[in-house]
Amino acid sequence: MVPTNYYVILSAILFGLGVFAFIFKRNIITIFMSIELMLNAVNLAFVAFSQALGKVDGQVFVLFVIVVAAAEAAVGLGIIILIARNRQTLNVERVDLLKL
Amino acid sequence: MTAPLVVFFVLAALAVIGAVSLILQKHPIHSALSLIVVMVALAGLYLLLGAEFVAAVQIIVYGGAIMVLFVFVIMLLNAGVEEHTNLSKMAGAPGLLLVVALAGFVAATIAKSAESVHAAPQTGELASTLGISNMIFKDFVYPFELTSFLILVAVLGATVLAQREKS
C-alpha cells in the first residue's frame, strides 16, 4: 500500500514543473501542453484522495476534468491556428499587438 | 520495500523525467512525445490506485485523442525549434523560485496534515466502474448533460475559429 502523501507530493512536483514550463517556454503550443500537464497533476491528487477516503467522487471529478480538458484543447488549438495564420509566428513574444 | 511501492517509484520517476524532458526539449514535437510518457505513467499510477476506468479514459482520451490533436496541429503549422531571447532566459530564474516556493508550500501543508490523511477510513471495497456510473448517472446527471452541451459549443467554436475567412 503506497501512502497517500507520496501521491500528493508527486502531484505537487508535476504541478510545479507544469508552472515552470508555462513560464519558461516560448512556443505557444508547448505552453498549451504545460497547461495539460498541470491538469494531469491535479487529476492525480483527485484520484489519490478518492482512494484514501474510499469514495468515488474524486474519480467522477477526474472524468469531468478530462472532458473539459478535451473541449479546451479543441478551442485552444483553434485559437493557435488563428494566431499562426494572422501573425506568421508561434513565439509568444512576437504576439505583442496590445503592447505599448 | 513492497512491490506496489517499487511500481510507484518507477512510474513516478518516469512521470517526473517526462515532465523535465518537456521543459528541456527544444522542438515542440519532442515535448509532445514527453507529455505522452507522463500521461502513460499517470495511467499506470491510476491502475495502482485501483481506478481502472479512469486509467482507461486517461489512455484513450488524453494519450490518444488530445495528444493526437496536439501532434496534428504541430505538423499542420510546421512548428520549428523554439527560440529563446534574453528576456525569456531571464524569466527562468523567477520562475524556478516560484516553483520551489509552490512545491515547498504544498509539501509543508501535506507534512502538517499527514495524520488527517492517514486517519481517513479505508473502506477497502472501492466499487470502481459500477460506483462511477452510479454516481454519474444519478447524482451528477445534470452536470453530465451540461458537459455534452459544453462539447457541442467547443466543437462549434473550434470550427468557427479555424475556418478560413471568405474574401
Judge whether residue B85 has pLDDT over 80. Answer: no
pLDDT of residue B33: 94
- Mean of the pLDDT values across residues A22-50? 91
Q: What is the CATH number of the domain that holds A22?
A: 1.10.287.3510
User: Is residue B36's pLDDT more than 90?
Assistant: yes
The tens digit of pLDDT for each residue in B108-122 reads 787 677 555 554 555
Q: How many CB pairs (< 8 A) connect A and B?
A: 236
Query: For residue B119, what pLDDT is reported?
Result: 46
* A4, A9, A36: best to mutate for the B interface, most B CBs within 10 A: A36
* Any A CB within 8 A of B90 CB: no
Give the tens place of pLDDT for each residue, A42-96.
999 999 988 888 888 889 999 999 999 999 999 999 999 988 888 888 888 888 8
Answer yes or no: do A30 and B28 touch at CB < 8 A: yes
The region of weakest confidence among A50-54, B62-66, B85-89 is B85-89
Helix residue ranges per DSSP H, B25-128 = 28-48, 52-57, 67-77, 86-112, 114-118
Query: Nearest Cβ partner of B95 from A23, A50, A78?
Result: A23
Does the beta carbon of B163 lie under 8 angstroms from any beta carbon of chain A?
A: no
B65, B102, B154 ranked by CB distance to A16: nearest: B102
Instruction: Tell me which residue range forms the domain holding A41.
Output: 4-94
Q: Does some domain include residue A100? A: no
Contacts of A20 (CB under 8 A, 6+ apart): B23, B95, B96, B98, B99
Q: Is A99 contained in some domain?
A: no
Instruction: Report pTM.
Output: 0.88
ipTM: 0.91
Question: How many domains is chain A built from?
Answer: 1
